[in-house]
Amino acid sequence: MVNRDVAEGKFDQYKGDIKSKWGDLTDDDYKQAEGDSDKLAGIIQEKFGHAKEEVKDGLDKLFNRDKK
């Protein structure tokens, strides 16, 4: 899973991408996650019923796609 510092820095950067993948996320959901990718994964899991690993993998792919 992406570490907290990386996730915090990328939350705003990838907010649009995250919303397009999980469209019903609200700004309050982001505030509740407090820049923590694990918290965001839990919120997504709860809202959409996806498996936790599926959500974590999706977030990791978004956050790490520019690394090469």
CB atoms within 10 A of CB 18: 21
23 three-class SS: coil
Tracing tokens 């959409």 back to the chain, one arrives at 48
| Integer Cα distance of 49 and 52 in angstroms | 9
Domains and CATH numbers, the chain: 4-64 (1.10.1470)
Question: What local confidence, expressed as pLDDT, does residue 9 receive?
Answer: 65
Quote the tokens at residue 56: 């974590």
Nearest to residue 11, comparing CAs of 50, 24, 25? 25
Matching residue, tokens 């649009």 = 16
Q: Is the pLDDT of residue 1 over 70?
A: no
Per-residue confidence (pLDDT) for residue 6, from 0 to 100: 56
pLDDT of residue 2: 53
Query: pLDDT tens across 13-65, in order?
Result: 788 888 888 888 998 998 898 888 888 999 999 999 999 899 989 988 887 77
